[in-house]
Structure 1
Amino acid sequence: MHDLATGDDTVTIGGGGQVTPADAINLLKGMDVGRRRDFLLSLSASDRERVIAADPTTIAGLDGIDFPSRFAASEITMRTEIVRLERAGNHRRADTLRSLLAQSENPSPDRTVRTPMGEDTDSERTFLYTGDKGNGHLIEMVGELNPDTRNVAVYVPGTGTRLETMSGNVTAARKLAAATDGPVFVFLDGDLPQKLGYEGLGEGAKKSWRSAVPWGLAGVVPTAVDGVNDSLRDSAADPRFAEEMAPRLVAFGKSLDTELSAVAPGATTTYVGHSYGGSVVGTAEQLGLRADRVVYASSAGTGVLEGGWHNPNPDVQRYSLTAPGDPIHYSQSLPDNPHGGDPDDTPGVTRLDTGYHGPDENGHRAPVEGLAGHGSYWNDPGSDAFGNIVKVIRGEMPTAYVDRGSDYPIAATVEDVLVPTTRFFSPPLAAAIDLADGDLNLPGPLRDIKLRLPGLG
C-alpha cells in the first residue's frame, strides 16, 4: 500500500518543473487521451507512485493512462472502497470487492511462476477500473499483455450482469484467454438491464382483470398496457443502457489502442458482444469504435442509434453467431427492433455456425440450440460456437453458417404473434391506431411496427 501524498509533496515534470501530485493529476485530466500515457511515464517511478496514491480513483478511471499504473490505482481504490463499504454497512458489496482481489487460475499456464513451495498456477486479478455505482462497474484484464501478444479480445456481457454476478463471465473470459493465447478484457463500465421484460406481466394481467370488475372490459386494456409498460421499463427491451454504455466502450477502445501501440504493436483487437452486450458493441460501432474484428454473439441487435456503423477501420471484419431456436431471434427479427438490425442478416456481417457442444462421456455431441443455446457455448470450450469465436480472435478461418433447423422455437414471425394478439384483445382500438398512423403501437421502449397497408407505404 502506498502512503498517501501530502500537500508538501512535489513531483518533477518535464523541464525540471515542480508540481504537487494533485496538480499533476489536473494536468492529466486536461490532456488528450493520447498524451496521458507519455506524461505519466515520463515521471520517475517514485513520483509516479505519489501521483497514483494522491488520487487513485481518478488515475484508474482516466483513459490513456498506462495499464500497469491503472492496475495499481484500481487495487488501492478497491481496498479503500472495502473499508468505506464496511463502515457504511454495505457488507455484500464489500465482500464482492474482496473476492475480486483473490488470486485466480492463470489462463496462461506456460507462464507459471515457480516458488519455493512449487509451481504457482494462480495469479493476481488485474483491474483497469472498478466503480461502486449503479450495479457496480469494472474493466478486468484476464490474461497477460506483453510484447509477444498477437491478439486481444474485449468481451461485453449481457442482461443480468452486475458486479455480484460477474464470476461466470470471468470464467468464460479465462477460457477464451487460454484458447486464444491473448488477454481478454471483460468490459462492464456501465449498467446493464437486470430483467428480460416479462417478469411483471403476470401481476399486470391480474390487475387488468381486477379492473374489469368495476369498469368492464373498458378497464382491461389501459390497465394491461400499463402493466406491460411497467414490465418493459429498464428491461432488456430498453435501449437506454446501450446508449449510456457505448460511449465508454469507444473511449476504452482508444485507450486500448494507445496501450497496444506501445506494448504490442501489430496485435489485433476483437470486440465480442453477447446478448444485450451485442447491442452495446453495435452502438459503439455507430459512434466510431475502432476494431479489427467484431463478433455479435447471440446479439440483441446491431446498435440502438439511427444510421449505420462509423468505424475508423474500413477493413473491419464482422461476424454473427446465433444458435437455432435461441429465443433472441424474436428480438432480432422484430420490425423496428429497438436494438437495431438483425446481425445474422445485416450486409457485411458473416453468420457463423454454432454447431455442436463438445462430446460428453459417451462421445455424444448435442447441438447448440434452443434456450440453452443462447449462452451455453461460453461454458464449453469444446463447442463449435466457442471454437468459432476463438478462430475469429486469432485471425483464423471460422466455419460459416450451416442450416441446422429453424431459428424460431415456434414457427411464427413476430408480426404473426403480436398483431393478431393485440387485435384480439382490443379490435376497435388497434384498428383505429393502425389506420391513423400506419403502424402497430407497441408498449414501452419497443418501436412501433410499420404496417404495409394500402396507401400507407
Structure 2
Amino acid sequence: MAGERALSGSADTVRDVGVALSSRTVGADVYVHLTRAVAGLESGSGGAVCVDRLVTRIQASAAPVNAVQQADAAWGKALSKFGGQIEDLKRRARQAGTELASVEEDLAKAQSKLDGFDGLDAPGEPYARRALVQAVAGVQERRAGVLRRLRALDEEREGADSAAAAAIASSRDRYLAARSALPEPPSVSTGVTVTVPGAGGSALEVSALSLAELKDPEKIRAVWDRLTAAQRQALIADFPLLIGNLEGIPLRDRNTANVITARQYRAEVESQILAFGLYRDTPGAGGFFDEKIAELRKEITSIDAILGDRNDRHPGIAGFGEYVVYDEKGDPVTRKGTTLVAFNPLGDSMVTFQGMLDEETGDIPAWMTNVAISVPGTGSRLATLTDDLGRTKDLFAGSGQTSGYFTWHGAPLPDTGGEHLLEAATRGFAEVAAPRLTVFANSLRLPQGTDLVVIAHSYGAAVLGGAERLGLRADRVVYVAPAGFGHTATGLEDFPNTKDKPHFAIQARNDFIGATQGLSGFGLGHGTTDVLTAPGVVRLETGYLRDGDPGSGTIESTGWIEAHSAVFTRNSTAFLNIVGVVTGAPVSLYHPDSTWVDSYGNYIDDPGTGVKKPVERISPLDLSEVPE
C-alpha cells in the first residue's frame, strides 16, 4: 500500500537512542583518564622501565576508546537525523493519507452519480453524462496524484533508511576497528608446576616463579638441569617473559622463551599501529601520530631482524635476518635469526648473541676462545637495534671463527632531540643499567680459557664504568668514544675485579664528545675523570677508514659528529684495534698530533700529524710492552 513505508517506525524511539548515544561519555571518560596518566609519565626518565614504551601503550589504549566515543557521536547524530526524517515523512504521509481519504470519498460520490444516471429508464441528455464522466475522471486524477506523492514519500523513506544504514555500518566499522586495535591481554603465569626429585627422596615442586625466587643463577641452573626437556618446555610456555630473562637459564632455552615474547610483542605493536591509525579520523589530529607510527614500524623491523622469520618482507636489505656462525670445525653456518638472550620491552631490555651454542649445555661452547659484550650508547633502542646488530655482525665477521658477540641493550638508554635533549647528560639511565650489566656479565657460564671482553660506546661507557665499580668481571675492556667512567668512579682503582685487567680507549681526535668529557656537576655528567688519559688506560689509534691506506681518509675526515661512530667502520684502523682487543691480535697505539709553538708561546696542535706517525703495535694481552 502506498505510503505504508513512510508511516512505519517510531521517530521518538530512534531519536531517543540517538540522544543516548550522543551523550554517552564512557569512551571520553576513559580517554581523559588515560591521557592524564600519559601527562604524568612523560615527565620521568632514566627509570627501571622504558617510559616512552609505557606512554605508547597508554596512548594506544586511549585510541580505541576515543574511536568508540567518535563512533557513538557519529551513530547518535545519524540516528537523531533519521528520527527527524521519520517524523517529517510520517507527517507528510498522514497529510497525504487524509487527502487520499477525502478524494476517495469524492470519487465514490462522483461514481455513484454516474452510475445513477446510467441506471435511468430513459436515457438522459448526452452532455449531462459527459459532465458526470469528466467529474469522475477529475477525481481519479486527483487520487492518482495523491498516490504518486505517497509512493514518492515511500521512496524518500527508502533513501533515508539506506543513508541511516550506511551511517550505522560506518559506526559499526569504527567499533570493529577499535576492537581490532585493542591489544591482547598480557600473558601471565597460570602457576604451572613440575615435580623433580629432591634431597632424601623428597619431591620438589618447581614453577617459573619459584625458580626466580632462588635469585642465585647457580642455584637456578642446578634446578633447571634436573628438569626433563618436557618440563622445561612446560615452564617456558607458562611464563616465557620470566624464563627468558632469568639469569642462570641456558642461553638456548632463554632464546626459546624470548622468541615467544618477541612474537607476542610484535603482534601488540601491530595492534598499536592500528590504534594510532584511528586517530587520523579525529578532527584536527592531522599527522600528530605519524612519527609514533614510524617508530613502531621500525620496532617491528628490528624484531623481524632478530627472529629472522619474516625476511621476505625486507627484500631490499641484503642479508636481513641472516647471521653467519661457525661450528667447532670452523665451517660457516648461515642461520635465520639470532639467539635472543633477553627480551623485556617494558624494561627496554633486548640482548642477542651471535655465535654457536653448545649442543648439550645450550651455552657457550668449550672451543670458543673469546666472547665479547657490546654495549651501545645514546640513541640505541629497539627501533634502532638493527644498527647495533649490524655493528655486531661486522665485529663478529672480523674476529675469527672462535669468537662470539653479545649485543647488550639490557636497560633504557637516553635518546636525543626534543624533550630528550639533555638525557645523555643525566645519570639515571646508567644507574639503572650498570647493575643489570654486572649481573648479566657475571652470570655467564664461560668455559675455562674463554676470555670475556666488554666494549662500550658513548653513553654505554658510563654504564660499563658503573658496572665495573659494582664488581663486573672481564678479561679486557674497551671504551669507545666514552662519555665517562660514570660519576661514582674516579679511575681503574675503583674497579674491584678489573683494576688490573687491560683497559683500552679509542676515540677520534675531533669527536664532539671530547667537549663533555671530565665535566660533572648539578646532577649532570659522567665523572670528572677523562677516560682517555686515566692512569692504566691505553689509548689506541683510530687511523684510517681503510687500515694502512692514507688515501681512504682518516676517521676524523668524516666530521666531528660522524667520527663519533665512524670508529666502527669495518676494516678501519679503529675497527681492527677493537677486534684486536677481543681476539688478542696486535693493536696499534695512539700517537697525539704534533704541536708547534706560536709567537705568543702557545702550543698549537698540528691536525693529522699523529695518524701519519709510524705504527707502534703491542699485544693487548700484555701491557708491559706499552711505553712509559
In angstroms, what is the RMSD of aligned CA positions?
3.1
Preserved contact between residue 325 and residue 354 of structure 2 (Cα < 8 Å): no
Q: Aligned to 1:350, what secondary structure does the other structure show?
A: strand
CA contact (8 A) 1:242 1:304 kept: no
**Residue equivalent to 2:553:** 366
Distance 1:322 1:405 in 2: 17
Partner amino acid for 1:194?
D
Alignment of 1:54-453 (within 5 A): 54-88=238-272, 89=274, 92=297, 93-94=299-300, 96-102=302-308, 104-108=321-325, 121-133=334-346, 136-144=348-356, 145-181=364-400, 182-195=403-416, 199=417, 232-233=421-422, 235-256=423-444, 259-260=445-446, 264-308=447-491, 309-334=494-519, 338-340=525-527, 341-358=529-546, 364-369=551-556, 370-371=559-560, 372-378=562-568, 380-404=569-593
CA offsets, 1:198-256, max 9 Å, x none?
Answer: x56xxxxxxxxxxxxxxxxxxxxxxxxxxxxx7754x2111211111111000101111
Equivalent residues of 2:414, 2:424 under 8 A apart: yes
Sort the Cα spacing of 1:5 and 1:95 in 2 relative to 1 into closer, same or farther, 3 A. same
Partner amino acid for 2:554? P
In 2, Cα distance between the equivalents of 1:25 and 1:46? 18
Q: Aligned AA for 2:471?
A: G
TM-score, normalised by the number of residues in structure 2: 0.53
Deviation at 1:313, TM superposition (A): 4.0
1:194 positional shift: 0.7
User: How far, CA to CA, are the matches of 1:334 and 1:31 in structure 2?
Assistant: 37
User: Offset of 1:125 from its aligned partner?
Assistant: 1.2
RCO higher in 1 or 2 (8 Å CA, sep ≥ 6)? 1
Shift, 1:374, TM fit: 1.0
Partner secondary structure for residue 266 of structure 1 = coil
SS at match of 2:567: helix
**AA aligned opposite 1:250:** T
Letter in 2 for 1:102: G
Residues 465 and 489, structure 2, Cα contact 8 Å, conserved in 1: no
CA shift at 1:87, angstroms? Answer: 4.2
Unmatched tracts of structure 1, length 5 or more:
201-229, 407-411, 413-457
Find the aligned partners of 2:267 and 2:372 in 1 and give their Cα distance. 33
Against the structure 1 CA distance between its residues 305 and 148, is the aligned structure 2 distance closer, same or farther, given a 3 Å change threshold?
Answer: same
Return closer, same or farther for 1:335/1:125 CA change in 2, 3 Å cut-off. Answer: closer
Q: Contact (CA 8 Å) 1:21, 1:50: kept in 2 or not?
A: no
2:235 aligned counterpart, secondary structure: helix
Match of 2:374, SS state, is strand
Counterpart residue number, 1:421 = none
Describe the shift of the 1:27–1:131 C-alpha distance in structure 2 as closer, same or farther (beyond 3 A). Answer: closer
Among all aligned residue pairs of Structure 1 and Structure 2, give the percentage whose two residues are the same amino acid: 32
User: Residues 5 and 347 from structure 1, CA distance in 2 versus in 1: closer, same or farther, beyond 3 angstroms?
Assistant: closer
- Matched residue SS, 1:10: strand
Matches of 1:359 and 1:334, distance apart in 2: 33
1:129 CA drift (Å): 0.8
Determine whether 1:26 maps to 2:172: no
Equivalent position SS for 1:277: helix
d(CA) in 1 for partners of 2:236, 2:487: 37
Amino acid corresponding to residue 142 of structure 1 in structure 2? Q
CA contact (8 A) 2:328 2:367 kept: no
Are the structure 2 counterparts of residues 55 and 13 from structure 1 closer, same or farther at C-alpha, using a change threshold of 3 Å?
farther
Contact 1:291 1:311 in 2 (8 A): no
- Alpha-carbon distance change, 55 to 7 in structure 1, aligned in 2, over 3 angstroms: closer
Structure 2 unmatched ranges of 5 or more: 1-187, 276-295, 310-320, 357-363, 596-601, 603-628
8 Å Cα contact 2:307/2:336 also seen in 1: no
Contact 2:306 2:340 in 1 (8 A): no
Contact conserved, 2:193 with 2:235, CA < 8 A, in 1? no
Q: Which amino acid aligns with 1:138?
A: M
TM-score, normalised by the number of residues in structure 1: 0.71
Shift of 1:18: 4.4
Q: Quick one: distance in 1 between partners of 2:212 and 2:425?
A: 38
| Most deviating of 7-16 and 152-161 | 7-16
Bigger Cα Rg: 2
What is the CA distance between 1:285 and its match in structure 2? 1.1
SS in 1 for 2:463: helix
**For the Cα contact (< 8 Å) 2:374–2:392, is it kept in 1?**
yes
CA contact (8 A) 2:326 2:333 kept: no
How many residue pairs align between the two structures? 359
Shift of 1:316: 1.2
Shift of 1:28: 4.0
